[in-house]
Structure 1
Amino acid sequence: MAEEVELKLELAPGAVEDALGSGLLGEPTSILQQTSTYFDTTDRKLFDRGFTLRIRKTGNSLVQTVKAIGESASLFARSEWETPVEQGQPVLDHSSPIENEFGIDIVLVPKFDVEIERRIWNFDEQHSKIEVAVDQGEVVSGERRMSVREVELELKDGDPADLFIFARKLDATAPFRFGVRSKAERGFALIDAERLVYKAERLHLEKSMRASTSFQTIAESCFRHFRLNEDILLRQRNPEALHQARVAIRRLRSAFSIYKPMLPGDEPQRLKDEFRWLAQVLGEARNVDVLLPKANDADVRSRLDDAREKAYDDAIAALTSSRARALMLDFNEWLRCGGYLSHDQTAKIREQPAADFARSALQRMRKKLKKHGQALAETDDEHRHEARKDAKKFRYAAEFFATLFDDKRGERRHEKFIALMASLQDELGALNDLVTGPDVLEKLGLSEHPARDGVVSHADKSRLIDAAQIALDEVIDAKRFWK
């Protein structure tokens, strides 16, 4: 079994030619024509359990590769098992975990092919050896096809930070986005037809995992959630994809807050602020999306449609800006190589078991919500908004840490807790809409429009506050699943 450390970088149309013609890469060491056939059961058992099996033909050579793509994998490292084979059919034996995981009677059939021209270079960067592979080709399933344009940087020996040094050189000649989908995921997406939105995936944290590793796992998951929806948003202006991209950023920023005790220095706050900027730009479009379904007046709807186009233009411009590209590079490099991983003052927090860190964090957030959630009727909108943000962070933390407390009692309590948190967020969200709706209309120049009342909430504020208080008290009184 080998452990890969790599970056997968997706290139826009034309960017491959930019990279090849830039002088950065020079002549490749080799050019390979590869056809990879991916196998699974008819009901996709391998993929659903976090494994892929492919047989790749390169010249006259056939190599079977099994990869772990699920809970044990990450954006930058994954486990794989390679075995030379003589024919284009899977071999199931002790050389991979498939037989042990699924039994000897499992039947695998071909699902799709990936046809690639791969150019390979080997570079010395600082004191590291890096293999660079540029892939161009297609994923093919019957009549359906999906193009592939990507660069893989694999660390053969040395420091992972040197991967990012090389990545920055590449970005200067051929701008890229970090890839978060494997070729296998693309193939199965092609079979199913492209999804229009991705919600947050369930995280799996091990109880014995170090706190620092749990943070990296959570942050990688949030980044993947963002990138999957960003790709959709860049192709089509889907409101749900935009909403989920914002949710992913909120979850990521919450992770920064939750793990703040082990994230010293200025860089974590700078990155968090930059993600806040991006979320705010997307938020302008989301505000219009929320109002549009409520607009019955033709003039109001027309003006909201125009405002939506402008807001989405701004969102796309932000996502494709050099500022956003720099943020993605800075964040991913810091996450994998940042000083927080070796800072002496935070070593004790960083190296404690993830479950111990989670208990402390959840207890701290419960205490904060209880403090800010007292007597909602007697405070102002600003303080009620703080309680709403506390509730969101608390719920995200509960979702992040769920598998650390997955005994029967913990699961039962967690399920009830999440249901109560959902009710609380609904009540606080309705209250927030009542407060912010008029502000959004004013920003859009519709505050004096005769039909403005049709697109803002006119709910009874006192009733909403009372309902929010009841929901909040139920959350605080709920049995703690982390105990």
Structure 2
Amino acid sequence: MSAELDVEWLLPAGVAAGVWPAGLLFMGDLRRVSEQTFCWRLLDTFDRRLLATGWMLGVDAAAKLCLIERNRGRFWHEGPFMAAEPRWAADLAGLPGQAKLAALIDIRALLPQFSLKVQRKSWVSATPAREASEECQWLLEQWTVVRELGSAAEEIPLPARLRLHAPKASRKRLRELGEALREARWKPADLTPYAEAVAVSETSPAGSPTTLAVIEDSALRTDAAVKRVLRGLLDTQRRNEAGTLAETDTEFLHDYRVAVRRTRALLGQLGAAFPARVTDRFRRHFADLADVTGPARDWDVFLLALPTLDARLTGAMQGQLDPVRGLVVERTRAAHARLNARLRSSGYRRFVEAWAAFLDKPVPRRPSAELAVMPIGEQAGHRIWKLYRRLLREGRAITDQSPDDALHALRKTAKKLRYQMELFQGLYDSEPLAVLLRHLKKLQNLLGEFQDASVQIGHLRDLADKLVGRGAPLDGLLAVGALLAILHDDQARQRRHFADVFAKFASHGHRKQFRRLFRPPPVTGQEDGGNGVG
């Protein structure tokens, strides 16, 4: 009996191409027929949404699009030739499956992830006369991952692989082939070369989402633990700097800004683990970064929201926001220009270098800060507990008549609490912590939507004055007025939902979990201070 054979093996290290195990000679004399080189540049969003779902989008040297199924190594579609490398989902028009890809990509930009270079040599071997007359095809491939690192490039060779395609092969010959390969220490290829390439290039050189250093030892000194977490946040800042400066995707600035905010929150809560003059110095620098990144992020969010806001207008008012969009683009560019000037300044470089040097310096054996040598488990829990009690007090004071600033202040407290819980999550039981974080995020999302509406209302009022001064068409001004009414309705709805969302977060069961996880043991002779958390 015979069967079609299509298998791949990984060549052992040190085996030269064309030096075959003696046991394979039964396949016949090998005759080289071609030698080719292929190259694809892989594109994805900054958070690799396509790769996460098993797809790879490539552009070859001829500017032709291709869609590859990573784990099967199958080319599903080959699309049109592109005049320029695609940047957005809309640029994929003509590629089969574009609608599905667009849903995954959404508003994210397509960014270069890495390149794949393949050198392929092929041979054919005539099957001996006693076997079937079809030829066997041998493909020897050397795959290389090319990562762009600024102006340089890093090449990572993957294990060479040999593929055999035999239209007809007897079971006896298959057994002989397997035995010969095992004796020569060749191994079957368990992964496609595409999957291997992804595995060795997990961190995109262009940037990556925020990653957190995990602290699991509750007895670790507080200064050492805080430095470790801060070092991870600085790494995140640096990975997202280039994307922020290039303005390739708004999420680079978002992740950069989140790292800055987490750093500020941690210095505010546990900065006493370091000398006060050191903490104060760096806190001032990070406050400056927060001030310069905030406007750029706010205008980014507003610009991204404009299509959705326009779609909420009715009738003839839709499509009347072009004058508004023009002004928003101007403000966005100006805010990014100020941010980029700050990030490119020599002062910023000196600050980052000094910050990195401080974080990399070993903690002193005899620190001047009393908090430094205390165990992180004790200190982290104490800070989280205090923030939680503060959040409950502030949340219970919110009424229908509370000013917008009160909800904004509550949002900032919720954000600080969430940051501390996330930064030190390795110290606590993961299941109850995940439940508490989920409800905290729901509260924070509601407060965030309320604050976004507040910011957009302020922007629209300011822009309306500018439009009047520029003699904008009446239809555009009416559309702005209608949008203001919609956003005020949104805020009214969010206020109505607040009580329910906050009540779920502050429920008796969740208060018990917070006490169990974070409440510090009572000090003899002292009360807990009437916090109203019971």
TM-score range, shorter chain: 0.5 to 0.7
Q: CA contact under 8 A between 2:215 and 2:426: conserved in structure 1? A: yes
Pairwise CA distance, 1:329: 2.1
Task: Report the Cα distance in structure 1 between the residues aligned to 2:408 and 2:147, rounded to whole angstroms.
Answer: 49
1 CA distance for matches of 2:333 and 2:289?
A: 17
Kept in 2: contact 1:366–1:476 (CA 8 A) = no
- Partner residue, 2:446: 427
1:376-432 Cα offsets, whole Å, 9 max, x none, are 125322232221111001001110111111xxxx22111111111110111101111
Q: Closer, same or farther in 2 for the Cα pair 1:438/1:113, shift >3 Å?
A: closer
Residue 374 of structure 2 corresponds to residue 374 of structure 1: no
1:249 partnered with 2:260: yes
Deviations 1:238-289 (A, max 9, x none): 2111111111100111111120343442331232222122222222121111
**What is the CA distance between 1:195 and its match in structure 2?**
6.6
- What secondary structure, in the 3-state scheme, does the structure 1 residue paired with 2:489 have? coil
- In the alignment, what sits opposite 2:208? 198
Which residues in structure 2 correspond to 1:299-378 (within 5 Å)?
Answer: 299-337=323-361, 342-344=366-368, 346-347=369-370, 349-377=371-399, 378=401
5 Å matches for 1:217-228?
217-228=228-239
The one-character-per-residue Cα deviations of 1:162-199 (angstroms, maximum 9, x if unpaired) are xxxxxxxxxxxxxxxxxxxxxxxxx9799569476522
Residues 196 and 337 from structure 1, CA distance in 2 versus in 1: closer, same or farther, beyond 3 angstroms? Answer: closer
**Aligned-pair identity (%):** 21
Report the Cα offset of residue 142 of structure 1. 6.9
Over 3 Å counting, the alpha-carbon distance change for 1:465 and 1:264 in structure 2 is: farther
* Structure 1 portions without partners, runs of 5+: 1-108, 117-135, 144-186
For residue 505 of structure 2, the aligned residue among 475, 478, 481 is 475
TM-score normalised by L of structure 2: 0.52
SS in 2 for 1:482: helix
Identify the match of residue 272 of structure 1 among 273, 278, 283: 283
- The 8 Å contact of residues 223 and 373 in structure 2, kept in 1 or not, is answered as yes
Instruction: Normalising by structure 1, report the TM-score.
Output: 0.57
1:37-64 deviation digits (Å, cap 9, x = unpaired): xxxxxxxxxxxxxxxxxxxxxxxxxxxx
Change (3 A) 1:189 1:316: farther
Q: What is the CA–CA distance in structure 1 between the aligned matches of 2:257 and 2:449, rounded to whole Å?
A: 18
CA shift in 2, pair 1:442/1:281, >3 Å? farther
Moved more, 462-471 or 387-396: 462-471
Residue 438 (structure 1) aligned with residue 461 (structure 2): no
Change in CA separation of 1:275 and 1:387 when aligned onto 2, cut-off 3 Å = same
Aligned to 1:412: 431
- The verdict on how the C-alpha distance between 1:115 and 1:202 changes in structure 2, with shifts beyond 3 A counting, is closer
**Conserved 8 A contact 2:236-2:259:** yes
User: Looking at CA atoms only, which structure, 1 or 2, has the larger radius of gyration?
Assistant: 2
Alignment of 1:33-432 (within 5 A): 138-141=153-156, 191=201, 194=204, 198-207=208-217, 208-295=219-306, 296=310, 297-337=321-361, 342-344=366-368, 346-347=369-370, 349-377=371-399, 378-405=401-428, 410-432=429-451
Q: How many residues align?
A: 308
Relative to 1, partners in 2 of residues 1:398 and 1:300: Cα closer, same or farther, differing over 3 Å?
same
Structure 1 residues 202-228: Cα deviation after superposition (integer angstroms, max 9, x where no partner): 431132321111101111111111111
Counterpart for residue 480 of structure 2: 452
Alignment CA distance shift 1:311-1:431 (3 Å): same
